[in-house]
Chains A and B, each alone.
Chain A
Amino acid sequence: MNSSEGVGQKESAIFACFKTELEAFSLDVNLWLPAKGVTALFGHSGSGKTTLLRCIAGLHQAKGDLKINGECWQSAGFFLPVHKRPLAYVFQEASLFPHLSVRRNLEYGYRRVPEGERQVTFEQAVAWLGLGEMLTRMPDKLSGGERQRVAIARALLTSPRLLLMDEPLSALDHNSKQEIMPYLERLHEVLSIPVLYVTHSPEEVARLADHLVVLDAGRVVASGELSETLASLDLPVKLGENAGVVLKATVSELDDEWHLCCASFPGGELWLPNEGFQLDQPIRLRVLARDVSVALSKHEDQSMLNVLPAVVESVSENDRPGAVMVKLDLNAAEGEALGCTSMLARLTARSVDKLQLVPGKSAWVQVKSVAVLE
């Protein structure tokens, strides 16, 4: 399955096509990826996501083609060596050079980039990742989270045109993860280069990604814009308990009396507790399929705050017997032409039968809980 990006954008995009036989599985992918924003490569261990990233970096030699913004990095009979590719790679473990201080680690890549090609200054990288205090320390005197921040800064200092991150948070404990996450979210804003982010965490996908590629057994099973891909019905199976949608919304109204705020997105709005949000602030919301229920009529005499009109788009069997995943379109009920927002609801097969939920049927979506991601 290929990306849904338009044909006209192909010049400024990443084209990756690889075929390789490995011991446990074979990798066979053919992808178009957008040239900006964060693309999450999502899958379980052994799905080939890290191998794909290593192929793109040139660390793993596989047969294939690779073009970054029209520039060829690999094709039949041509292979640009790793050190000549303008990319940066952040490994799962921080992998700092143990014999060099933090400053010398940061300078390692920086010095090897010609002065004219440097886009990021040493001071900028140090400031972005908050490393000012630790420049003279040796890597073994840093915590796991600090090491990973140094590794990210070291990677950025090569002024890459493509940033590859291989589960940069998975080796860290919960606190270190929370420490790094804000830096990653900020990178998103300060960097104009594409980021490929390998992860098996639905949480990280929801918080960081703009574009989602789902890999399974070395094949691409889905690729597309985040909200769209999350809402597609063949995918939730892979996400299991974490199936749900991510909404990019803006705060449109504040209700000081009840400490609530209203988040608007194309096709609807949701009320949620106001945790100090400002008007017009962009926020990311995550609604899990298990937190959504469906009714055929709107009841005023119930406690649910968020009840939205919708139309059933499709219904599919879930991974568990007796459970059914229903995809509902919110905008269709309001008759809006633009902006498609879908919701997923995980219901029992009996309820679906009782309510006779079939594509095209109007219904009310009841949202039990909403998580704010940033």
Chain B
Amino acid sequence: MEFDWQPVWLTLKLAGFTTLTLMFIGTPIAWWLARTSHWLKQPVAAVVALPLVLPPTVLGFYLLLLLGPQGVVGQITQSLGLGTLPFTFAGLVVASVFYSLPFVVQPLQNAFEAMGERMLEVAATLRASPWDRFMTVAVPLARPGFMTAAVLAFAHTIGEFGVVLMIGGNIPGETKVLSVAIYDHVETLEYDQAHLLAGGMLLFSFVILLTLYLINGRLNKGVR
């Protein structure tokens, strides 16, 4: 029995890119949500949390329309000569970013809120500019939040299925990730292959979550 590593690498690559993108997009959103009293705060928080309650197929369906040849975003990407995103790896990254957004924003927002205003005020009276305060005080103090956000984003992306099927399909080496590969194996009654992948994922998910809890336990003891 020959083991096909391709879906494994593809999945890790997708999760890596998604996590990185999410840290850059999620951090400012979480910072804004944690500190604003703007009337848009609650609506934005609700939109960010949507993927938690929506079936992945609904999210995938609308993304497909939006990114497709007739969609607003699709038209823009086409006019820029980038083609359309659905059924490509880039399209998968975009979809995964939306799908995992709450898993990054919520832990970060909690960490920023728990930190309170005081330390930032202290830094301000010690001549630190807003950006300086963010980098030297907020980020170090929110380190457990960043750890949680990154691990959850990574793990959640690895586990997605519905969105991938809707927007990525099943193209080997391009969009055929682990979860889809397992589905395929089960469909064709290749239970040995399915077992290997499914068992591997079970173990991987457990190890990653255990690491997260161990690290956060230590950090919380150290910082607070």
Contacts and interface: CB of A to CB of B under 8 A. Distances in A.
Asked if A and B bind, the verdict is: yes
Interface of A: 57, 59, 81-84, 87-89, 91, 93, 95, 97-99, 108-109, 112-113, 154-155, 158
Given A83-B128, A95-B118, A97-B137, A108 B123 contact: yes
- Interface size on B, as a range, is 20 to 34
A108 B126 contact: yes
A87 B224 contact: no
Given A98-B141, A99-B140, A99-B223, A91 B118 contact: yes
A155 B128 contact: no
Given A91-B118, A99-B223, A82 B141 contact: no
B127 interface: yes
Contacts of B119: 95, 97
Interface in B166-224: 223-224
A57 B223 contact: no
A158 B126 contact: yes
A67 to B, nearest CB: 19
Given A91-B118, A97-B137, A99-B223, A112 B125 contact: no
Contacts of A89: 121-122, 125
Contacts of B223: 98-99
B135 interface: no
Interface string B113-144: 00000110111111111101100110011010
B125 A88 contact: yes
Contact of A154 (B121, B126, B143, B224): B126
B124 A109 contact: no
Contacts of A82: 121, 124-125
A93 B125 CA distance: 15
Interface string B6-46: 00000000000000000000000000000000000000000
B96 to A, nearest CB: 32
Contacts of B224: 98
A316 B125 CA distance: 44
Given A98-B223, A98-B224, A99-B141, A113 B127 contact: yes
B123 A87 contact: no
Given A95-B118, A98-B223, A109 B126 contact: yes
A88 B132 CA distance: 18
Contacts of A109: 125-127
- Say what secondary structure dominates the interface of chain B: helix
Contacts of A158: 125-127
B124 A83 contact: yes
B115 to A, nearest CB: 10
Name the 3 nearest CB pairs between A and B, nearest first.
A109-B126, A112-B127, A89-B125
Contacts of A99: 140-141, 143, 223
Given A91-B122, A97-B119, A99-B223, A83 B127 contact: yes
Contact of A95 (B122, B128, B130): B122
Contacts of A93: 118
16 contacts: A57-B125, A59-B121, A83-B128, A83-B133, A87-B125, A89-B125, A91-B118, A95-B118, A97-B137, A98-B141, A99-B223, A108-B126, A108-B136, A112-B126, A112-B132, A158-B127
Contacts of A108: 123, 126, 128, 136
Contact of B125 (A97, A98, A155): A155
A81 B122 CA distance: 13
Contacts of A81: 124
Given A95-B122, A98-B223, A112 B128 contact: yes
Nearest to B117: A59
Contacts of B123: 97, 108
Contacts of B122: 89, 91, 95, 97
A87 B121 CA distance: 13
A99 B140 CA distance: 7
Contacts of B143: 99
A83 B118 CA distance: 14
Nearest to A151: B122
B64 to A, nearest CB: 45
